Amino acid sequence: MVLIGVAVVIVGFLIRLNPLLVVIVAGLVTGLIAHQSLYSIITQFGEAFETNRYMAIFIATLPVIGLLERHGLREQAERLIGKIRAATTGRILMLYLLLREVTAALGITSIGGAAQTVRPLIAPMAEGAVEAKYGSIPEDTQQEVRAHAAAVDNIGVFFGEDIFIAVGAVLLMKGFFDQNHIKSTPIDMGLWAIPTAAAALVIHCIRLYLLDRRIKRRMTAASTSTTSTEEGANLGDLN
């Protein structure tokens, strides 16, 4: 009977209810079936929230980003990039990838992120570079640009943070090696992570360069097709 809370979560997600509301209801149902008092259940919610206080920062970030977007943050980012003639989608994402890897290597992983940086700034800037050169963006190209913007953030922090000796993954490997009597230090692991991070940077920069070429080829073909259609329509009108 206690597992009814799992069923509540599944049903709630299937019918697309608010995830926070679904989880709270599932917790209440589970606690009440387990014969806990309402006070005890609420206390456990509070203790869990206090234990994971960093989530409060994330929750506070969302309304702030929403307010900034409402007041034109995305439009300003697109307009700024539109004024830089040398800017392309690939170059913008390469620069952000480098920044993300370097800051993650220094232990500053919270400086970026999908919610607080990619969606309101990086993705609009990448889209703005396409619009400045070719005009309006088709839906499939827009989604591809956004996907690459999110991928850059993940790749940069994933490979960059292993260089930082105090990151959880390095400490986990250190504990595993100690249990198996393998001599290694976090500094050694960080140094060995540098070639991997450099390789990831080079390989993904090549992918972003190819993305620029793919966008150029696609948008040029679309523009040519549109021009041909307009010329055909004009000839038809003359006839």
Spell out the residues 6+ positions from residue 41 whose beta carbon is closer than 8 angstroms to its own. Answer: 27, 28, 31, 32
Instruction: Tokens for 175, please give them.
Output: 């504990």
Q: How far apart are CA 50 and CA 84, in angstroms?
A: 46
CB 96 within 8 A of CB 124: no
Tokens of 84: 């830089």
pLDDT at 200: 95
Please report the DSSP string for 50-61 in residue order: HHTTHHHHHHHH
Please answer whether residues 100 and 157 qualify as being in contact, where contact means their C-beta atoms are separated by less than 8 angstroms: yes
What pLDDT, in 10s, does the model give residues 85-98?
788 999 999 999 99
Question: For position 54, what pLDDT does the model report?
Answer: 47
Average pLDDT over residues 11-16: 82
| Phi, psi of 85, deg, nearest 5 | -70, -30
What confidence tens digit (pLDDT) does each residue in 207-235 have?
A: 999 999 999 998 888 777 665 555 555 55
For the chain, what are the domain ranges? Answer: 4-52, 55-222
Instruction: Indicate the range of 27-31, 53-57, 83-87, 115-119 predicted with least confidence.
Output: 53-57
Instruction: Note the pLDDT tens digit of each residue in 146-204.
Output: 999 999 999 999 999 889 887 777 878 888 888 888 888 888 888 989 999 999 999 99
User: What's the rounded Cα separation, in Å, for the pair 227 and 207?
Assistant: 30
Res. 110 pLDDT band, cuts 50 70 90: confident
* Cα dist from 41 to 19, 35, 55, 151, 220, whole Å: 19, 10, 20, 39, 60
Residue found under tokens 């539109």 = 82
Q: What is the DSSP letter of 3?
A: T
pLDDT over 70, % of the chain: 80
Residues 6+ apart with CB under 8 A from 220: 134
Residue 18 has pLDDT above 90, yes or no: no
List the alpha helices (DSSP H) in 34-161.
38-51, 54-70, 73-82, 89-105, 123-134, 139-160
